Amino acid sequence: MKEESIKDFSVSSRTILSRIASGDDSAFRECVERYGSLVWSVAKRLTTNPNDAEDAVQEIFLEIWQKAGKWDPTRAAESTFITMIARRKLIDRFRKSSRSLETTSMGPEHDVEVSASSNLIEILDESEKAHQCLGRLGETHREVIRRTIHLGHSHSHIARQLGLPVGTVKTYARRSLLQLRNCMEQHARIRGTS
């Protein structure tokens, strides 16, 4: 009995993605149960109809199953890794559908649809790059930026929350924004040369 509870603890203490990577079938089912609503909400938001969303969700979970071994828990949380895979897969789907729309354009109203789709792809691309750049920041720098930009907190409020001097929070915010800008500019230069 004691050996059984130790085994249960070791399975439950391992992450879902590491269990998928090791070939644990029950982990994949657990992944779908735990992250299905997250993946579905991302797919629904970034697809044009429910059928496309369903197809995308299936493709995303297949990709998660194939890439689970690439997840590094020191770089991102499980949910972040799964969201990243979902966004990338959806960007790929948009690109493919945009190409097919461009080759079968039937008139001006169709061109507007292609243009809107292309703009969405660019926005998703920029969002993915910004997410990658944020991932390169240290944990405290990232938290200061998150609380400043996403939550709209003041520097003094963040200082109280994190137990840091206000000047330190301001320095973290300024340095983090400079690093993000440099990172995004690098991405733009790379994109310009490709």
pLDDT band at 25 (very low <50, low <70, confident <90, very high): confident
Share of the chain above pLDDT 90, in %: 20
Q: Above 50 in pLDDT, residue 2?
A: no
Q: Above 50 in pLDDT, residue 1?
A: no
CB atoms within 10 A of CB 28: 17
Residue 151 has a pLDDT of 74
Q: pLDDT tens-digit profile of 56-113?
A: 899 999 999 999 999 888 888 888 888 888 888 888 887 776 555 444 444 444 444 4
On whether the CB atoms of residues 18 and 71 are closer than 8 A, the answer is yes
Cα 55 to Cα 32, 35, 157, distances in angstroms = 15, 16, 44
Cα 131 to Cα 32, 88, 135, 146, 159, distances in angstroms = 24, 12, 6, 11, 24
Q: pLDDT tens-digit profile of 149-187?
A: 767 888 999 999 999 999 999 999 899 888 888 888 886
Average pLDDT, the chain: 77
Q: Above 70 in pLDDT, residue 115?
A: no
